[in-house]
Structure 1
């Protein structure tokens, strides 16, 4: 069953309400296991020079600096505005954007990245 627009709004509001608590509690990669971070590093190692990565569902952006450390040019997108606000607070140099309208753009970006040998990382539930 497809989520309704009301469901999407409810999810967005819920994430907006916990954005500061979440971002303050998970400031970097504390919740990730070493094997998870190893998979991210391995993922980045397969990308060509100039590694552009789209972190779809970036939340407060805690994985974006990790990807940047591995030489990736990272763009983060998510749909709760408060999560993006927190990502921008801590990661001003990394581009972030917000909005459900981003979904179509993400699909186009993924197709474009596939054609150009770039990558899209979608790693969160």
Structure 2
């Protein structure tokens, strides 16, 4: 079973920083050309007319970018504060409060899904379940685009932009994540690594594109 205390601390932490997060990062994709290219790749391969899920959407800036390109997007996040911040800013996105381990979505509802720096907050034992949930809500042959920090460390924050928080950022190994995706019923079609951009935290980042089989 999921660690509810862990979930609650993540939720409270993101509720606490939601407004500042939304203000600081609303336009972050403007400085991330590789991320934009991968999102464009996802868009081009999504079944026409099918919605795209942004899992762990935060204030919804990624979903909003996709919506600007003509996609129908649904942002899902654990944090009610993030959902509220997104709704105020991005009326073109449908927002739902929900958990990666029990997504508020029907079977096969989405043509594709993106999860940028979302699985880094899950306990290791919950990753497989999260991928099985993503598989459930995707249509056959739907795509899942993941990103995460590479490594084995855990970075804990108890202060974030001057706010008191209690949240872990778990670094992950791409081969391990690819194996879990395959076990959950996906075929990994692309793996990419990059260094950080100048304005980002200094970590190496991985991107995996996986197709529901």
- Structure 1: gaps of 5 or more residues: none
RCO comparison, higher one (Cα < 8 Å, 6+): 1
Query: Per-residue CA shift, 1:13-34, capped at 9, x if unaligned?
Result: 1111111111111122357520
Query: Per-residue CA shift, 1:3-58, capped at 9, x if unaligned?
Result: 51111101111111111111111122357520111110011011222131011110
* CA RMSD after TM alignment: 2.2
Q: Give the TM-score of the pair, scaled to structure 2.
A: 0.50
Map of 1:105 onto structure 2: 103
Q: Which portions of structure 1, spanning 4 or more consecutive aligned residues, are displaced by more than 6 angstroms?
A: none
In the TM superposition, what are the counterparts of 1:43-82 in structure 2 within 5 Å? 43-82=42-81
Distance 2:88 2:109 in 1: 27
Structure with bigger helix share is 1
Larger Rg: 2
Matched, 1:83 2:82: yes
Distance 1:42 1:30 in 2: 15
Q: Give the TM-score of the pair, scaled to structure 1.
A: 0.81
- Would you say how many aligned residue pairs link Structure 1 and Structure 2? 118
Question: Residue 60 of structure 2 contacts residue 93 of structure 2 at CA under 8 Å; is this kept in 1?
Answer: no
Query: How far off is 1:90 after superposition?
Result: 0.4
Moved more, 80-89 or 28-37: 28-37
Structure with bigger strand share is 2
Going from structure 1 to structure 2, the CA distance change for 1:37 and 1:86 (only over 3 Å counts) comes to same
